[in-house]
């Protein structure tokens, strides 16, 4: 233990008095503190005892220097600090969820009818997570698309005609594509043929170049007597999104599919679900006049046909080419394929079991090789399925359904060819043979005759995108009323009723929306080292074990005027994107204005956790695959920090607040709902009309345009915006800190959302003092004004400190 030089008259007096006087003075000052710290003195570790004594002497003003290690902790060696390997934790969660998948299934093999009934809940769950939620629009038949100088007839084959058509799907959204109609005969079957999203209907019909003749499966099926509808899909073309005049940050390049996926995901929908709806609308029409219905697709079209057949029992045969595979690496695939909680309930084998005992034919051929790289979007790769993985997934599906009688088998067509080798004669022959007894694959009749045309597929693509975008925006406009209905069981007529009726919502948010890692945490194994020793406070780096290999880490700042036995309130100060704890302690000039240190000077104990902001995109997508979010692992860190803080003898365990800026503000909105122990929360530089900010395509404030794909949280739009989250934080004190020039949003949007919160606290709960907002002239920063007063008032710290 080292003694510093005397810096005050009291210190000088201690240095100049006799040894006996010093001993008497030290004994009188330190005895109460020693008694309060008695449990720690039973520790066998000599360093801990020395550290306690050193901290005691510093607090008593008898020495100047702080101990090198915080009492009750082990030394933290240089180079050891950090949060560790959270990727490994989430990998374990994926393995755990996959292993436990069977508990969500209760298959009854006593009969085909019983089996089908037993998987209805799984089928419904599947429809919800892929966003098949909107009512489809009934229609008599597809509309022919023609103009004065452009007929609907696009081509004529030897035995069929090709028409340009569109048909209603849901809301004001239409499917559009081609209808191949047998000429002079009744169709042998109705088929929806779905190209990959990089292909057009014209290419798999032989009207446009780009697909080899042997892979033009829509044409071959029409030649064989099928009525075939071919919908166009949204492609992955890269464009700069955002209007002219938007800030550069809000004019980023991303794929068309991701651009539409982002707001849909936030609103509980999905581009996959939208395109499945278009296929199912086609199935409804085809099923009126055709005894047998099939869906066949390649690449992205195979995904959509596969999912459609799992949902709609009217589909007799599904042909899946170049897609069926293990999905255990779904977070590496294009972002627009991300389905929240998919791996918790479904792999491709489980989806296949919702088709069986109907016919499923898998063609293991070279699937589309896709690499999505865009400055504003998420990276993703789609690769051709490896035959061994396809076979293993088929074997798993057979194992899951081995009780079916008669047995149901997936038919595998194995192709050794490379990319583009799809829609083979063998595949189409088996597909037709399963679809209809009278159906044999006709000889190749060659490409149909196409009259001169000025048709532009890009115009069609833009119209399709516009309809989906407008549907997303309509959902956004309705979302506040949807959330109001969702929250209707929250009874705020009294504080007691509010507390009891909010509990099911918190459990729902934890289980279905944000997700929690539900497994026991490790012992603290706390380590520390002194970081700063300032005039009014000292700061320690602290590392805690959370799970094996994964840690919580941050800076603990303790005021030097702690009295023996005194317990102080704590403010957990969360940094934002690109930040770190050091900025919250030693950066007066930056946006944080060293607010963790300034609060310590006011008398609070503070803790500044280090969190991965922004989070790694792949880690968030891993989380999403099993129903977790980035807040799931952040919550685990915070819970362990809270648990540890509550064991410290200088901490008032029931008076711990959370205060965060920017990404830290996002944390402050959510973490009090995911962990136990926060008494109040302050949100700085983030509070907003969150659903609008993450789903609108009509403002450069919107995250839809920005290069932050990890922002989006599935189905918040119909469940929990910021006002709803604040309602679940209530009646705990809640405050917003808003700079007028903060570019994260407008005063109007902040005020609009905050008015709902203020109404709840003031008019319904009758707790106006527990809710506040500070508007200040400034930007994206901590203001250190009214928020400090709010903390003192509600955490019980005297303003005289």
Please give the full DSSP string across 139-171, using - where no structure is assigned.
Answer: -SSPEE--BTTB-SEEEE-SSEEEEEEEEEEET
Q: What percent of the chain has pLDDT over 90?
A: 82
Write the CA distances from 542 to 529, 557, 672, 729, integer angstroms: 7, 10, 22, 28
What is residue 244's predicted lDDT score, i.e. its pLDDT?
84
Give the span between the Cα atoms of 544 and 551, in whole angstroms.
Answer: 5
In the predicted model, is pLDDT for residue 332 greater than 90?
Answer: yes
What is residue 58's predicted lDDT score, i.e. its pLDDT?
52
Give the span between the Cα atoms of 185 and 224, in whole angstroms.
Answer: 11
Mean pLDDT, rounded, for 728-745:
97
Write the CA distances from 355 to 228, 231, 297, 319, 323, integer angstroms: 21, 22, 15, 11, 16
In the predicted model, is pLDDT for residue 22 greater than 80?
Answer: no
Q: Which residues contact 778 (CB under 8 A, 6 or more apart)?
A: 739, 740, 741, 742
What pLDDT digit, counting tens, does each position of 394-452 carry?
A: 999 999 999 998 888 999 999 664 445 799 999 999 999 999 887 689 999 999 999 88
Can you point out the beta strands (E) in 285-339?
293-298, 317-321
Least confident of 44-48, 85-89, 675-679: 44-48
What is residue 45's predicted lDDT score, i.e. its pLDDT?
45
What is residue 55's predicted lDDT score, i.e. its pLDDT?
54
What is residue 49's predicted lDDT score, i.e. its pLDDT?
47
In the predicted model, is pLDDT for residue 375 greater than 90?
Answer: no
Among 243, 267, 361, which Cα is nearest to 306's?
361
Neighbours of 405 (CB within 10 A): 12
Give the span between the Cα atoms of 518 and 632, in whole angstroms.
Answer: 10
Q: Which residue has the tokens 């030693």?
A: 586
What is residue 38's predicted lDDT score, i.e. its pLDDT?
46
* Mean pLDDT computed over every residue of the chain: 91
In the predicted model, is pLDDT for residue 34 greater than 80?
Answer: no
Task: Give the model's confidence band at 2: pLDDT under 50 very low, under 70 low, under 90 confident, else very high.
Answer: very low
Give the span between the Cα atoms of 337 and 331, in whole angstroms.
Answer: 9
Q: Which ranges in 7-142 belong to alpha helices (H)?
A: 9-16, 19-36, 46-59, 86-99, 112-118, 120-129
In the predicted model, is pLDDT for residue 584 greater than 70?
Answer: yes
Q: Which residues contact 121 (CB under 8 A, 6 or more apart)?
A: none
What pLDDT digit, counting tens, does each position of 252-269 carry?
A: 899 999 999 999 999 999
Task: Give the model's confidence band at 324: pLDDT under 50 very low, under 70 low, under 90 confident, else very high.
Answer: very high
Write the CA distances from 133 to 136, 265, 287, 558, 715, integer angstroms: 9, 12, 21, 52, 12
* Residues in a beta bridge with 545: 551
Mean pLDDT, rounded, for 676-685:
98
What pLDDT digit, counting tens, does each position of 347-366 carry?
A: 999 999 999 999 999 999 98
Query: Left, alpha or beta for 106 (phi > 0: left; psi -120 to 50: alpha)?
Result: beta
In the predicted model, is pLDDT for residue 6 greater than 70?
Answer: no
In the predicted model, is pLDDT for residue 10 greater than 70?
Answer: no
Cα angle 629, 630, 632 (rounded to 5 degrees) comes to 70
What is residue 331's predicted lDDT score, i.e. its pLDDT?
95
* Residues in a beta bridge with 367: none
What is residue 40's predicted lDDT score, i.e. its pLDDT?
43
In the predicted model, is pLDDT for residue 60 greater than 70?
Answer: no
Least confident of 88-92, 402-406, 733-737: 402-406
More confident residue, 204 or 27: 204
Mean pLDDT, rounded, for 276-291:
96
Task: Give the model's confidence band at 249: pLDDT under 50 very low, under 70 low, under 90 confident, else very high.
Answer: confident
Strands 153-156 and 411-419, bridge-based pairing: unpaired
Task: Give the model's confidence band at 660: pLDDT under 50 very low, under 70 low, under 90 confident, else very high.
Answer: very high
What pLDDT digit, counting tens, does each position of 647-656 carry?
A: 999 999 999 9
What pLDDT digit, counting tens, does each position of 43-57 carry?
A: 444 444 444 455 555
What pLDDT digit, counting tens, does each position of 533-552 carry?
A: 999 999 999 999 999 999 99
What pLDDT digit, counting tens, does each position of 196-225 carry?
A: 999 999 999 999 999 999 999 999 999 999
Cα angle 770, 495, 689 (rounded to 5 degrees) comes to 55
Task: Give the model's confidence band at 66: pLDDT under 50 very low, under 70 low, under 90 confident, else very high.
Answer: confident
What is residue 247's predicted lDDT score, i.e. its pLDDT?
84
What pLDDT digit, counting tens, does each position of 589-638 carry?
A: 999 999 999 999 999 999 999 998 788 889 999 999 999 999 999 999 99
What is residue 366's predicted lDDT score, i.e. its pLDDT?
85
Give the span between the Cα atoms of 413 and 427, in whole angstroms.
Answer: 6
Give the span between the Cα atoms of 407 and 353, in whole angstroms.
Answer: 12
Q: What percent of the chain has pLDDT over 70?
A: 91
């Amino acid at each position: 233990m080292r003694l510093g030089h005397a810096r005050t008259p009291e210190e000088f007096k201690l240095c100049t008095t006799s040894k006996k006087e010093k001993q008497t003075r030290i004994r009188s000052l330190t005895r109460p503190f020693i008694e309060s710290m008695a449990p720690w003195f039973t520790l066998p570790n000599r360093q801990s005892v020395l550290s306690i004594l050193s901290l005691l002497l510093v607090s008593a003003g008898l020495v100047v220097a702080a101990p090198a290690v915080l009492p009750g902790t082990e030394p933290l060696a240089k180079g050891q600090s950090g949060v560790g390997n959270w990727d490994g934790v989430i990998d374990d969660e994926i393995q755990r969820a996959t292993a436990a998948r069977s508990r969500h299934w209760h298959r009854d093999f006593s009969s085909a009818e019983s089996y089908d009934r037993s998987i209805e809940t799984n089928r419904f769950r599947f429809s919800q997570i892929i966003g098949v939620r909107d009512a489809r629009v009934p229609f008599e038949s597809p509309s022919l698309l023609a103009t004065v100088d452009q007929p609907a007839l696009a081509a004529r084959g030897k035995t069929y005609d090709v028409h340009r058509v569109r048909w209603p799907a849901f809301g004001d959204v239409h499917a559009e594509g081609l209808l191949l109609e047998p000429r002079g005969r009744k169709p042998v079957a109705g088929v929806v043929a779905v190209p990959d999203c990089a292909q057009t209907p014209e290419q798999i019909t032989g009207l446009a170049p780009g697909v080899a003749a042997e892979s033009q499966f829509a044409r071959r099926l029409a030649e064989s007597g099928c009525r075939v509808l071919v919908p166009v899909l949204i492609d992955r073309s890269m464009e700069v999104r955002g209007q002219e005049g938007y800030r550069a940050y809000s004019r980023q390049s991303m794929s068309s599919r991701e651009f539409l996926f982002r707001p849909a995901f936030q609103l509980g929908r999905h581009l996959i679900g939208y395109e499945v709806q278009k296929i199912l609308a086609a199935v409804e029409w085809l099923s009126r006049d055709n005894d047998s219905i099939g869906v066949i697709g390649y690449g992205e079209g195979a995904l959509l046909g596969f999912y459609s057949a799992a949902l709609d029992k009217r589909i007799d045969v599904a042909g899946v080419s170049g897609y069926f595979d293990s999905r255990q690496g779904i977070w590496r695939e294009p972002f627009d394929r991300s389905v929240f909680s998919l791996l918790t309930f479904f792999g491709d084998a489980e989806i296949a079991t919702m088709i069986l005992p109907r016919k499923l034919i898998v063609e293991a051929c070279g699937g589309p090789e896709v690499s999505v790289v865009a400055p504003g979007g998420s990276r993703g790769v789609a690769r051709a399925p490896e035959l061994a993985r396809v076979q293993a997934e088929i074997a798993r599906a057979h194992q899951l359904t081995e009780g079916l009688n008669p047995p149901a088998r997936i038919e595998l067509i194995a192709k050794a060819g490379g990319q583009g080798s799809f829609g083979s004669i063998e595949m189409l022959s088996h597909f037709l043979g399963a679809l209809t007894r009278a159906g044999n694959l006709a000889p190749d009749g060659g490409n149909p005759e196409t009259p001169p045309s000025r048709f532009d597929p890009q115009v069609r693509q833009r119209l399709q995108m516009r309809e989906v975008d407008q549907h997303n925006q309509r959902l956004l406009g309705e979302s506040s009323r949807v959330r109001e209905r969702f929250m209707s069981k929250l009874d705020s007529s009294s504080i007691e009723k509010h507390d009891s009726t909010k509990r099911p919502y918190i459990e729902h948010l934890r289980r279905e929306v944000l997700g929690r890692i539900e497994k026991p945490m490790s012992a603290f194994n706390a380590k520390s080292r002194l970081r700063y020793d300032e005039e009014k406070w000292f700061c320690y780096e602290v590392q805690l074990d959370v799970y094996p290999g994964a840690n919580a880490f941050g800076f603990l700042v303790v005021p030097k005027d702690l009295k023996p036995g005194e317990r102080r309130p704590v403010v957990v100060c969360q940094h934002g994107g690109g930040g770190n704890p050091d900025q919250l302690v030693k950066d007066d000039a930056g946006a944080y204005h060293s607010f963790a240190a300034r609060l310590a000077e006011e008398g609070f104990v503070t803790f500044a956790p280090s969190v991965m902001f922004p989070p790694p995109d792949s880690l968030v997508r891993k989380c999403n695959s099993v129903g977790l979010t980035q807040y799931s692992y952040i919550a685990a860190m915070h819970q362990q920090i809270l648990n540890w803080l509550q064991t410290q003898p200088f901490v008032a365990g029931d008076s711990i607040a959370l205060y965060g800026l920017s990404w830290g503000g996002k944390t402050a909105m959510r973490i009090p709902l995911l962990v136990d122990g926060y008494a109040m929360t302050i949100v700085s530089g983030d509070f907003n009309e969150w659903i609008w900010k993450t789903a609108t395509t009509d403002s450069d404030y919107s995250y839809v345009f920005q290069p932050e794909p990890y922002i989006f949280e599935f189905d918040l739009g119909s469940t929990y915006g910021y006002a709803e989250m604040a309602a679940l934080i209530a009646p705990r004190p809640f405050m917003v800190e808003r700079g007028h020039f903060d570019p994260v949003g407008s005063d109007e949007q902040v005020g609009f959302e905050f008015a709902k919160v203020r109404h709840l606290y003031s008019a319904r709960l009758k707790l106006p003092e527990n809710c506040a907002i500070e508007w200040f002239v400034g930007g994206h920063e901590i203001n250190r004004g009214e928020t400090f007063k709010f903390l003192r008032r509600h955490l019980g710290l005297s303003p005289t400190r």
